[in-house]
Amino acid sequence: MTPFRWTNCYADVQASKHDMTIRSYFEDVIVPAIATLEEKISALGRSHSPGDVFAQADMEDVLREAKLAFGLSVQSIWERQFRAYLRGCAKELRPDEPLENRVARADWKDLQKHFRDLRGIGLDNFPSYQTLDTLQHLGNACRHGDGASAIELSKRCPDFWSPVPPMPTEMHLPGPEVAPSVAMMDIPVESLQEFVEAIAEFWRDAEYIYNESIERKHPSLVAKLAREREQRHWLPQATTTK
């Protein structure tokens, strides 16, 4: 079987550290910040001061808002990385077309189309795609509040909301089910980490394709790829036409 290859661009080189950037942001910024807030909440919970019970509730709201902000920032970092990558590819591969400007203005759906057009493979072929697509809905919900993305997010990630106790039968009014509000969303730290790992995984997969696409490989790269093919859970293959 022939590995999938694309036309390498300088944008691939520029993206080589993107996985490290997003993981460092999680480990060195998000985790310490959340740990600090959680410690403050714990300290207030241990306090015997009457007013600290209210301060604890306020700090819990701060923690929830911080996680919303971190969800948005993770999505923003990913989108800027991805958009800049596509703009670089468009500039190099289609210099005589206005594609770079279209990429700059494209929404998530069109960015995926441009990726397939420029790289010859669909973003939805990457194992990280489903998580990245969910991250897009999270970013929209955190940025804009209640709406279509929040509704979709509530279906994909119901654990982002605390269960609501059922209303008494006599108080239940017929009508369409109402999606939970973004104002009540509490993103688990584990989910933030999953989004970060999906971004890092995408860039590692892109780097693998880049290495496979190098025409004249140094023996050390040949050996590295041989080991990597044995260890990887995803090996994109070239499509054959009959």
Bridge partners of 3, per DSSP, are 237
Quote the distance between the C-alpha of residue 130 and its chain's center: 9
Quick one: which H or E segment has residue 229?
helix 219-231
Q: Which two tokens stand for residue 22?
A: 């997003």
What does the pLDDT read at residue 242?
43
Per the CB < 8 A criterion, the answer to whether 116 and 90 are in contact is: no
pTM of the predicted model over 0.75: yes
Instruction: List the domain boundaries for the chain.
Output: 13-163+184-202
Bridge partners of 237, per DSSP, are 3
Give 137's Cβ-side CA count (13 Å radius): 19
Per the CB < 8 A criterion, the answer to whether 35 and 151 are in contact is: no
CA distance 67 to 30: 8
CA distance 148 to 138: 11
The list of the chain residues with pLDDT below 50 reads 242
